[in-house]
Structure 1
Amino acid sequence: MEGKNLKIVVSGDICINYLQWITEPQNNKGLSWQTHQNVHSVLKSGESLLLAKLVALATDAAVYSPKTDDIETNLSKEFLCSMAELDLFPVCAEEKSKGKVYRVKRFLGFAGPSLGIPKLLPIADDVIDANIVIIDDENNGFNSNEEFWPMALRSTEKSPIVLYKMNNPIGSSALWRQLEKFHIEKTIVVINADDLRSKGVNISKSLSWEKTAQEFLWQIHNNPNLAFLANCHHLIVPFGLEGAIYYKDGGTNEAYLYFIPYECEGGSFKDTLGKMYGLTSCFVAGLARSIAWESHNEEDLFLSIGEGIREGIVAAQKYFINGFGKSVEEVQFPNPEMFIEGENDFIHKELIQDVKIPNVINEENNSYWYILKDKSSTNLAEIAYDIVKNGVKNVLKSIPIAQFGNLQTVDRTEIESYRSIKNLMWEYISSKNTVRPLSIAVFGTPGSGKSFGVSEIADSIAPELIEKLNFNLSQFRNPLDLINAFHKVRDYSLKGKIPLIFFDEFDSAFEGKLGWLKYFLAPMQDGIFREGDSIHPIGKAIFVFAGGTNSTFREFLGEDIKEENEKKEFLTEFKGAKGPDFTSRLRGYVNILGPNQTDEKDQLFIIRRAMLLRSLLERKVPHLINDNGEAQIDNGVLRALLKIRRYKHESRSMEAILEMSMLTNAKIWEQSDLPSKEQLKLHVDEEQFLRHLMLDAFYSEKIESLAMAIHEKYRMLNENNKNMDIIDFIVPWENLSEELKNSSRDQARHIPNSLLKINYDIISVKENPKFVEFTDKEVEILAEDEHIRWYRHRKKTGWKYGELKDNKKKTDPGLIYWENLPQEKKNKVYQMVKIWPEILAKSNFKLERLKS
């Protein structure tokens, strides 16, 4: 179906946008009025009139819609009119040198029609055989006036594709009942996320894409106000200009998240760049562009909707950037180049990633869904190596990444915590009527970077306004020391600065456990401190309470204590120390995750280590980064730094090892550059570190022999198998095809990473060790991981699923998910992984259980 042969009908509510702006006088020698500020105004099409223009630009198709030939001369008081004040704003925050464009400074409201009922317009030359119908329902009368609906919708015999843009999520309108009864299978509903939130739908904003996506899924399944939408065959919810969720019901519910990796919802353009109306309309036009140029069977429609979401996000971003142009009266609006992809565009469709949202509404499991894991075809260890070698930006192109100044993180938990703190700081700094400090708490092990993270957030918001102060309460001797600290804070406030005060080790003992807490209650609640009979206001300030004896907020509250009497005793002491009063005054907290693994569920620690190590290399030894951005570091050194079980002093230890290495004149970080064994002992388990250091060399040397051993075991397991499908696999190694040899080599390389999933590492030993036996649970984990490895290797070499095994066509019935694999095939994988310890032992590798 070609776009130019399509018939597209666009209709809906009608609104005229009245825009006004002020310009400064151009001279002081002209007529009197010319020496004053000039107020300008213009009328522009809004709602369905604007949508029709955007669709025409996007699709290059025949568009049938309501017509107003000359808005200014035909403007009637019967029309709904929206009022807005414009001003000049930078094109974008990072490129102020490119000049300014007009955008909305503030929306002034509506000028309602004289009779209270907005005038609607019929569709000029309406066609009953429309291929696509697009509706802009702003809940201003159109959805209850059937006479203005497109004929293709009123007909019970036609089945056009319907793009239904609605801003009021209710299922009781006459229009929705018509769509639900006759057109639901081909109706694509588009509702902006903020419109959902305005109706009481609780979906978080600007924290993490994972959290937003899973909260949306929970709401669509559980919120009675959205029950009518749960039956939509196609529902699209844009989240700002940075993402969208596509909810698809084709018998089984599926949801997909589309997102810009380096942005969160609302992160692209701040309020300082102005606002724009029509952003969702522009998104819908981009969506229509993709649908108009594709065929429309069920599978193709699904694919074209996905492509259309990308088109819509790109178009909406470009629409915002263009604004009303440098001159509202002279520049064409909307910009006709908005839907034309150019080489110099700041955003392209390829940048926008997608991921299937897991249909899990268990709160505990939700918090452990990471897009990073779903988007990565390789294991986390390989990604970590790649980050250090080639840099974060070159590796993490398809997963969410948050950056605050020099702080980068991909860990969902950290992203959500940091963004919560940033949002709190932004609101506090922007507010003019605050009388008390903003109080937040930061927890983490010593050396995890508690002060660094919060400082970078503050610098990313208002670096010129915020002044940092640091007080370590463990060094204070009496309350007078704290009063002197408050005086310093007050001095900065009086200078017009906002002090960012770190109270390190606020949870240290003083006059008993948590003895300092009671001295902060009045400053936190009322913004004052007492000195004798005098009361002093502190002024605007941000209190950051950094824990010294507790590494998490849960630990600070005693929630990790299991024994009942111990917990009861703790809570009594906590209450006596004014702990509940203190926590009630906190407005946020963050647990800083350092380079050490927090628990068995924390699999991203190796990514955090990699990002920290890459940052240290770039800052401390930039000469080890070549012109192509590649870090010059020995693989053994890299493995040891990333896989060592624990750093004794967290990030400080990693930094210390780098600083103690002989790298001043080095061209590559070799093993010989590392500090001595005695020095390493200060920061890591030196024996374990050295084993990691040498393992790559030892293991790499034996890949070929291990692969041969794996193949021989496979032959033994299948020597009595008469199945012709495996005849190519059970020949001697020297007769095996190179492709099958590579498969065995790939399995051998993958074994160490697979073993990490059951908490085993391998070490090189001098003699053949005794080999362990895996538990049934461990065998299941290893077998599934091995099948995934085989599946990916097979796919990479051109194989695809087929009901019959065919070496020429490269089809294999085993290329299916593990849970769908027949038990007979699963048993063969079980047999294979069970013999890994024996194969490794014969090559002088011992399996060692890692300490938790």
Structure 2
Amino acid sequence: MYEKGLKIVVSGDICINSLQWVTEPQNSRGLNWQNHLNVHSVLKPGESLLLAKLVALATGASIHSPKIDDIELNISKDFLRSIAELEPFPMSADKKKNKKVYRIKRFLGFAGPSSNNPKLLPIIDDDENADIVIIDDENNGFNSNEKFWPLALKTPGKFPIVLYKMNNPIGSSALWKQLQKFHFEKTIVVINGDDLRSKGVNISKSLSWERTAQDFVWQINNNPNLAFLANCHHLIVPFGLEGAIYYRDGGVNEAYLYFIPYEFEGGSFKDTDGKMYGLTSCFVAGLAKSIASESYNKEEFPLLIGEGIGEGIVAVQKYFVNGFGENVEEFQFPSPTLFIEEEDDFINRDLIQDVRIPDLTHKDSNYYWYILSDKSSTNLAEIAYDIVKNGVNDVLNSIPIAQFRNLQTVDRTEIESYRSIKNLMWEYISTKNTVRPLSIAVFGTPGSGKSFGVTEIAASIAPELIEKLSFNLSQFRTPLDLINAFHKVRDFSLEGKIPLIFFDEFDSAFEGKLGWLKYFLAPMQDGVFRDENSIHPIGKAIFVFAGGTNSTFREFHGEDIKDENERKQFLLEFKGAKGPDFISRLRGYVNILGPNQTDERDQLFIIRRAMLLRSLIERKVPHLIDDNGKAKIDNGVLRALLKIRRYKHESRSMEAILEMSMLTNAKIWEQSDLPSKEQLKLHVDEEQFLRHLMHDAFYSEKIESLAMAIHEKYRMLSENSRNIDLDFIVPWEELSEELKNSNRDQARHIPNSLLKINYDIISVKENPEFVQFTEKELDILAEDQHTRWYRHRKKAGWKYGVIKDNKKKTDPALVSWDNLPYDKKDKVYQMVKIWPEILSKSNFKIERLKFLSKSDTSD
């Protein structure tokens, strides 16, 4: 389990955990005390004592550490004690499983030692030649008392690997200075994300992994309080039970995010599931398991740390699930199976994903980074096709996905907005004695699903408590209509329900522009409405203001207006309509992104379309999905539905096209099942739709001729090269089948590569003029082309070798793009440059994907 002969030392602050819990009377016929509630207590090792136990379980090694043989008999008042109250909690979120385990209901605080300084313990059989030193620094005296430090840290010339778990992020302790001076290169610092936040480090929580990661990177690069950590060679920050960031300084700073795709920070378990101490210690033990598993060189060290982070996340999940067992006094804590993979484990190592976090200079730069694009070896169009064909869960298993009952989304902006709204609703519902409604706004184009999204969020929180009501203000004629609506809301509140009220088209005109806003100010602020001379309380309610004339919040309050005079005029009218007063009463908003592309930065629209289309097929024509979960749909139909530039009525148009297709008795959604050209015209540009429909057929016919053209270019480049590659100078007819397939693979891949630089190809009747790529576009295409070739070669059994050998299948070019020699890079550039020309000769035009203008969004 660990490298033979490895010596591991664990030390640090000492704490004894006193656990207390109450059970029902044992019986009604025994002694008097047995007829009353029974209070139980037990002592458990904490801090470095617990860490040593966890590391021993994780590594299987003999650990050198402080020890207390019998904690109940030998406990001293000089030790620091932590006191916690336990209670049984469901072991898992699955309501069908009623097994309960003890976890912490609340931390009661500390019982301080008899002296001011908590007692520390020496390391039993300390060894100055320790290979790994693991420190638990809780800032309770150990970091300033050199007497108790491991010999391997104090002995000159000794350089062990150090896992330094620190609770208090300061760089002024004596221990930190010792590590910084003598051991920094091989020190791995582990500090919990909540510990950073407690020191005022502003890192978002429970919104999206991208947002958390980017906040962290910005803070580590700009916050002076973290300057001492920014120079760490290895820094790991766990975030909840679900993720961690690995930041390293190897000359160039890099940061990587490790995460559970379907969870967010704090999402695995709620506060109502209890708490546990020792979570970060368990994570460190998982990290130690990986590092202690084998010998390694300097280059492999970060890879082992990455493996260890995955081990740590898995272990922490299992540690929390097990808690203190069903019976605290009989349960062996920590569990011996904690670091052993079992079939019924809650989570496994393969599920943990990682992605490099982009480098940020300014906090808002690269804001639209999304993990989906970085985690995908294929482009978004291919992922979209796969989602429709095989389902969301089978495809999106390595990127963050948020689910709120029947609502699923992978779009970062939607995830963050929806989770913000969910957090607001949860806090509001949980808070007692609230006198005003919770007011949120929802914006989006007609048909984008504004009502559905918020309804699903509410239903995911409290489906039995929340009752939905809808009122369309564009249909109201007088303020009396609104008063009657408030009476209906109040009736629901009096019944003990929390009404979720949608005020659709709240931004419609009434007595002037935005005329309804002034009638909502008192209900939003004070939770009351006036009916003639009477004032009525509304009660607990959630107001949802759904925009009808504005598709985004920015548009609603005029932020998108560029002309200065026009903006001044708008703000004057907005103020007169009480717009600023209305906004000040909102507690949140969300922009719903429908199936249409919103602007140039919105690259995930095709994924949204795919998820919506898959959902429509599952709900409306489930017979088109076979027993293996595969949707039976023609590739041309699928391409047209996903790649059409715009749906005139957003999701309603997608739904209408499906409903108008003749699918009742169909076994596959064929092109002949689609509605007529005139019917399509109601919902899409019918000419463009039909062009996409036939694209695959046209392109498939030209694969062979394109592959031959690619080979001819290779021949030319090889003949003009100093190092002639004999494999590429033979005519197409004499080329090996393997190399022919490689050229065909490149030809098939061209459309997908072009999507990465925002180009698509369309079939035309005549040879069109062809474009020239910019240097930046060439860089992207060349790297993508080499990566595709690299994967194709590896899949065929090739590996890196100093000399190219067809029999041994070795090739010196089988390296990453960054390590590829200049002359070989130049060949790739030259190849990519001819794509427009060979496509043009095959009657394909490269066309930049167009983005919606303002006029495109109007129906």
TM-score, normalization by structure 1: 0.96
Equivalences for residues 2-41 of structure 1 within 5 A: 2-3=2-3, 5-41=5-41
Q: Partners of 2:198 and 2:60 in 1: how far apart?
A: 35
Equivalence for 1:409: 409
Residues 158/775 of structure 1: CA separation in 2 closer, same or farther (3 Å cut)? closer
8 A contact 2:188–2:235 mirrored in 1: yes
CA gap 1:828/1:307 in 2 versus in 1, 3 angstroms = closer
Counterpart Cα distance in 1 of 2:817 and 2:10:
47
Shift of 1:725: 3.7
Cα distance in 2 for partners of 1:595, 1:385 equals: 15
In structure 2, the residue matched to 1:763 is 762
Q: Distance in 1 between matches of 2:7 and 2:712?
A: 65
Distance 2:783 2:844 in 1: 23
Question: Cα distance, 1:266 vs. partner?
Answer: 0.7
Q: 1:749 to 1:15 in 2, by over 3 A?
A: same
Once residues 290 and 850 of structure 1 are traced to their aligned partners in structure 2, the CA distance between those partners, rounded to angstroms, is 46
1:88-111 per-residue CA deviation (whole Å, 9 max, x = no partner) reads 100011255241000101111111
3-state SS of 2:72 partner: helix
Partner of 2:725: 726
Amino acid at match of 1:750: H
Conservation of the 8 A alpha-carbon contact between 1:295 and 1:301 = no
Does structure 2 retain, via aligned residues, the 8 Å contact 1:214–1:361?
A: no
| Aligned equivalent of 1:92 | 92
Q: CA deviation at 1:429?
A: 1.1
Q: Whole-Å Cα distance in 1 between the matches of residues 786 and 77 of structure 2?
A: 69
Match of 1:746 in 2: 745
Q: What are the residue-to-residue correspondences of 1:200-211 with 2, within 5 Å?
A: 200-211=200-211
Q: Which amino acid aligns with 1:710?
A: I
Q: How does 1:532-571 map to 2 (within 5 A)?
A: 532-571=532-571
Question: What SS does the corresponding residue of 1:477 show, helix, strand or coil?
Answer: coil
1:259 maps to 2:252: no
Alpha-carbon distance in structure 2 between the residues aligned to 1:407 and 1:470: 20
Q: For 2:818 and 2:306, locate their aligned partners in 1 and report how far apart those are by CA, in whole Å.
A: 27
Which position in structure 2 is the counterpart of 1:845? 844
How far does the alpha carbon of each residue in 1:147-170 deviate from its partner, in whole angstroms, 9 at most, with x for none?
A: 111111121221111111110000
2:232 matched residue in structure 1: 232
Name the amino acid aligned to 2:74.
N
- For residue 308 of structure 2, what is the aligned residue in structure 1? 308
- Where does residue 456 of structure 2 map in the other structure? 456
Distance in 2 separating the partners of 1:713 and 1:9: 62
Deviation, structure 1 residue 779: 5.3
Write the mapping of 1:360-379 to structure 2, written as runs, cut at 5 A.
Answer: 360-379=360-379
Measure, in 1, the Cα distance between the counterparts of 2:548 and 2:800.
55
Distance 1:604 1:798, change over 3 A: farther
Matched, 1:154 2:154: yes
Residue aligned with 2:34, SS: helix
Question: Map of 1:88-167 to 2, 5 A cutoff?
Answer: 88-167=88-167
Question: Which residue in 1 is equivalent to 2:855?
Answer: none
Deviations 1:433-468 (A, max 9, x none): 322111111111111111111111111111111111
Of the structure 1 ranges 100-109 and 723-732, higher mean CA displacement relative to structure 2 is found in 723-732
Residues 85 and 105, structure 1, Cα contact 8 Å, conserved in 2: yes
CA 1:134–1:209 in structure 2 vs 1: closer, same or farther (change >3 Å)? same
AA paired with 1:455?
Answer: T
Q: Deviations over 1:139-195 (max 9, x none)?
A: 111111111111111212211111111100001111111111111111111101001
State the 1:829 CA deviation: 4.3
Once the two structures are superposed, the pairs formed by residues 645-794 of structure 1 within 5 Å of their partners are 645-715=645-715, 717-718=716-717, 720-765=719-764, 767-774=765-772, 776=774, 782-794=781-793
Residue type matched to 1:415 in 2?
A: I
Q: 1:281–1:835: structure 2 CA closer, same or farther, 3 Å change rule?
A: closer
Residues 243, 313 of structure 1: 8 Å contact kept: yes
Q: How does 1:255-404 map to 2 (within 5 A)?
A: 255-404=255-404
Q: Is the 8 A contact 1:7 1:131 kept in 2?
A: yes
Number of the residue aligned with 2:433:
433
SS at match of 1:298: coil
Structure 2 CA distance for partners of 1:829 and 1:147, relative to 1, 3 Å: closer
- The answer to whether the 8 A contact 2:644-2:684 is kept is yes
Matching residue's letter, 1:749: R
Q: CA deviation at 1:827?
A: 5.3
CA distance in 2, matches of 1:371, 1:725: 41
Q: How does 1:811-850 map to 2 (within 5 A)?
A: 811-812=810-811, 814=813, 828-848=827-847, 850=849
Q: CA deviation at 1:774?
A: 2.6
- Report how far residue 809 of structure 1 moved: 5.2
Q: 1:273 to 1:572 in 2, by over 3 A?
A: same
Cα pair 2:768 2:843 within 8 Å, conserved = no
* In 2: Cα distance, 1:780 partner to 1:125 partner: 58
Shift of 1:314: 0.9
Q: Structure 1 residue 534: deviation in Å?
A: 1.7
For the residues of structure 2 that align with 1:757 and 1:126, how far apart are their CA atoms? Answer: 57
The answer on whether the counterparts of 1:4 and 1:62 sit within 8 Å (CA) in structure 2 is no
SS in 1 for 2:337: helix
**1-side partners of 2:99 and 2:634: how far apart?**
48
**Contact map agreement 1:52 1:65 (CA 8 A) in 2:** yes
CA distance in 2, matches of 1:184, 1:797: 43
Q: 2:770 touches 2:840 (CA, 8 Å); kept in 1?
A: no
Report how far residue 29 of structure 1 moved.
Answer: 2.6
Q: TM-score, normalised by structure 2?
A: 0.95
Please, which moves more after superposition, 116-125 or 45-54? 116-125
Task: Quote the Cα distance in structure 1 between the aligned partners of 2:249 and 2:759.
Answer: 42
Shift of 1:804: 5.6
Alpha-carbon deviation of 1:42?
1.0
Contact 2:507 2:549 survives alignment (8 Å) = yes
User: How many Å apart are 1:220 and its aligned residue?
Assistant: 1.0
Q: Tell which deviates more after alignment, 272-281 or 122-131.
A: 122-131
Secondary structure in 1 matching 2:229: coil
Of 799-808 and 456-465, more deviation after overlay is shown by 799-808
The Cα of 1:46 is off from its aligned counterpart by 0.9
Q: Which runs of 5+ in 1 are unaligned?
A: none
8 Å Cα contact 1:90-1:96 kept in structure 2: no
Maintained 8 Å contact 2:773/2:833: no
Q: Does 1:587 align with 2:584?
A: no
Aligned residues of 1:3 and 1:60 also touching (Cα < 8 A):
no
Aligned length: 850
Distance 1:498 1:727 in 2: 76
Shift, 1:814, TM fit: 4.8
Residues 148, 754 of structure 1: alpha-carbon distance in 2 compared, 3 angstrom cutoff: closer
Distance 1:166 1:333 in 2: 23
Task: Give 1:720 shift.
Answer: 4.9
> 1-side partners of 2:557 and 2:804: how far apart?
59
* Rounded Cα–Cα distance in structure 1 between residues aligned with 2:58 and 2:773: 59
Provide the C-alpha distance between the structure 1 equivalents of 2:443 and 2:749, rounded to a whole number of angstroms: 36
Whether contact under 8 Å (2:719, 2:729) holds in the other structure is no
Q: Structure 2: which amino acid aligns with 1:776?
A: T
CA contact (8 A) 1:801 1:815 kept: yes
The letter for the 2-side match of 1:634 is D
Partners of 2:617 and 2:717 in 1: CA distance:
50
1:310-355 CA deviation, whole Å, 9 max, x = no partner? 1111111111111111111111111111111112212111110111
C-alpha distance in 2, partners of 1:781/1:19? Answer: 58
Q: Deviations over 1:248-294 (max 9, x none)?
A: 11222111111111100111111111111111111111111111112
- Select between 814-823 and 3-12 the one with higher mean Cα deviation: 814-823
Residue aligned with 1:672, SS: helix
Shift of 1:835: 3.6
| Counterpart residue number, 1:526 | 526
Partner Cα separation in structure 2 for residue 464 and residue 615 of structure 1:
25
